[in-house]
Amino acid sequence: MSATTTLIGNTTSDIDLRFTQGGRPVGNVTIAVSDRKYDKARNEWVDGDVWFARCTLWGELAEHAAASIRKGTRVIAQGRISQRDFEDREGVKRTAVEVTLEDIGASMRYATATVTRAASSGRQQTGQQAEWDSRQPGDSEAWSTPTSGEGSYGDDTPF
């Protein structure tokens, strides 16, 4: 059984990108997650306890994230938490909690980013998708261009 979670924290290293024997990309990274609270008595912000979330990424997500996210990047990640029991080399039973990420991106709270659409591998584009991909910034679109004069809606709702 697994539960979905959202993590907001900083990566503790670059994403370690590897490939399975079958050639499938897999990435591993740890995200340091901590609460920040305002301490009224000290009149300052203080960091709470830190949880180091071990995360795994698969496929194109792993490749894209490894090319984009570096050590110390503040990220927002969403995935499934799972727990597994194992026995270490000394025979001691242990439990590991891991997050299999379904999405990850840089937080825009303290940084900026330029997004570049990655080339699709193995998926065919629809005609509509190809049209969207070929548009350049500033191209006129009915929904993004304000209207004025004849044909404008003024303060009325256009629906």
Q: Which residues contact 148 (CB under 8 A, 6 or more apart)?
A: none
Return the structure tokens found at 120: 């699709």
Is 147 a member of any domain? no
Report whether 14 contacts 68 (CB < 8 A): no
CATH of the domain at 53: 2.40.50.140
Identify whether 88 is part of a domain. Answer: yes
| Residue 103 in domain | yes
Task: State how many domains the chain has.
Answer: 1
pTM greater than 0.75 (yes/no): no
Q: Is residue 66 part of a domain?
A: yes
Per-residue model confidence (pLDDT) at position 140 = 52
Domain of 20, in residue numbers? 3-132
Mean pLDDT on 94-109:
94
- CA 34, distance to chain mean position in Å, is 17
Q: What is the band of 128 on the pLDDT scale with cuts at 50, 70, 90?
A: very low
Least confident of 18-22, 39-43, 99-103, 133-137: 133-137
Per-residue model confidence (pLDDT) at position 131: 52
